[in-house]
Chains A and B, each alone.
Chain A
Amino acid sequence: MLGASTVYGDKFIDYHSPSRQLHSGVWDLKNIISQHFLLSVPMHIRSSPTSAVNQENRDVFISRWPEKKDPFTQTDLLANKEEQVQELILEIRTSPSICHGEILATRLVTLFYDAKEEDFANLGIVVASLRNFYNFSQSHTDLKCPTISLTPDNNIYASWRVDQKKVFSVLFLPNGDTRFVIFKPNDLHPERQIRISGTTTTDMLKAEVAPHGVWDWISE
C-alpha cells in the first residue's frame, strides 16, 4: 500500500544511491526539493541549487531567490531543521536494524513534499517527532510496515490495521512521548469492539500495549 504513493520518493532514491552519498555527499534533501519544486512551484524555492540542477534551471532559480538580509534568520533555522530531517530519513533508509527502511524513507520523503506543498514556509516534518519515530523503529526490528501520515501539526502518525477490526495507531510527539489508540475485537462479544487509548514514553510503548496482544499482529 505504501508503494503506491512514492512518485517523489522514487526520484529521491534514484538520484542518490548509497555509494554517491558516501563518496560525494550529494545526498541533499534541499537539492532534491529544489529540483522538485523547479518543476512545479518554482516561486517558492528557498534553497540553493547544486550541480545536479542544470544551468538553465539554476539561472531561473537564482533570479527568484529572495535576497538574504540578516546574518541569521528564520530561514537559517528552517534550513537547519530540514537538514536534520534529511539526516534522519537517510538513517532510516540505511539502518540495517530498521524494518522496511527503504519503504519508510520513501514514504517520509513524500510526506515532506506534501507538507511543503501545503505551506512551503513550514518544516515539512517536525524533526523531534521524526527522531522519536526513528528511535522507536530502531528499537523494534520486527515490525510490519505501518501506514504513515502527518498530523495537522506535522507530527508522525503511524497505523497498523489488520482485518479491518484491529487498529493500532501511534502519534510520535516531539517530547519523546507517544499517544496510542488500540481498537480490537472483544473476544467474548465478537460484535463489539474494545477501544483503548493512552500516553506513554516511546521506550515504554511496547510494554504498555503488549498485554493487549498488539505486538502479535504488528510483528512479522
Chain B
Amino acid sequence: MKGDTIPNQHHVARLCDNKHIDGGFIQATAFMLRSGEESLSVNWLEFLNCSSRESEIDELRNTYSRKLKLGAKAKIAVLTVGEVREKALTESPDRRNLKVLHDPQYGTVNDPSHSGIYNLKHDDELIAELILETVQETYPARK
C-alpha cells in the first residue's frame, strides 16, 4: 500500500540508464535525483511475489519496457534496503535517515511494485557514491 515502509531485509531494484554506465560499470550518477524529483525511483522485488530473483527481474524488464525506452547498455541494480539505509546512516556526514517507501503507480502502464528512496537531496553526490557501494547484483535491463 502506498506509503508502506519496505522492510530492511527486503530488496529494491534501480533501473540505471545508458548514461550512468561506463565500461559496463554502473556509476554513482544512477543514484542521483533529477531536478524536481522527490525520491529515487526503485521497485520492491518481494512485492512482485515471484519464485526467484530471475523471475523478479524478468517481471521488471516487462514493466520497464512498457514504460520507458531502455538503452542497450542499461542495467538493473539490486540493493538490500537495510544495507542502503545503514550505509547512509552510519557513513554520511549528516547521518542521513533514508526512507524506502512503497509508491505504486497506476496509469497507462501499471507499476504496482514502484517505490521510492526518500530523504535524498539534490546535492547528494556523497550519498550516491555510498549507495553505489551497496549494489549487490546487476542485470541487463533488456531481455
Chain A residues within CB distance 8 Å of chain B: 1-5, 107, 111, 114-115, 117-118, 147-154, 157, 159, 167, 169, 171, 179-181, 183, 193, 195, 197, 199
Contact = CB atoms under 8 A, between A and B. Distances in A.
A117 B71 contact: yes
Given A4-B23, A152-B33, A197-B93, 14 more contacts: A2-B23, A3-B23, A114-B73, A115-B19, A117-B69, A118-B69, A149-B29, A150-B19, A151-B29, A157-B29, A169-B28, A169-B129, A180-B125, A195-B91
B22 A118 contact: no
A118 B71 contact: yes
A111 B23 contact: no
A34 B92 CA distance: 44
B108 interface: no
Contacts of A197: 93, 125-126
Given A171-B125, A183-B129, A148 B71 contact: no
Contact of A181 (B18, B22, B35, B126): B126
B18 A118 contact: yes
A159 B126 contact: no
Contacts of B123: 179, 199
Contacts of A151: 29, 32
Contacts of B71: 114, 117-118
B27 interface: yes
Contacts of B135: none
B118 to A, nearest CB: 16
B96 interface: no
B24 interface: yes
Given A152-B29, A153-B34, A193-B91, A147 B129 contact: no
A152 B14 CA distance: 14
Contacts of A154: 19
B69 to A, nearest CB: 7
B142 interface: no
Interface in B47-70: 69
21 contacts: A5-B21, A5-B22, A114-B71, A114-B73, A115-B19, A117-B69, A118-B18, A118-B19, A118-B69, A118-B71, A149-B20, A150-B20, A151-B32, A153-B34, A153-B35, A157-B27, A157-B125, A167-B129, A169-B129, A181-B126, A195-B91
B111 interface: no
Most central of B19, B24, B29, B69 by chain A CB within 10 Å: B19
Contacts of A5: 21-24, 73
Contact of B24 (A4, A152, A159, A180): A4
A157 B18 contact: no
Interface string B116-143: 0000000101100100000000000000
Interface in B1-56: 17-25, 27-30, 32-35, 37
B70 to A, nearest CB: 10
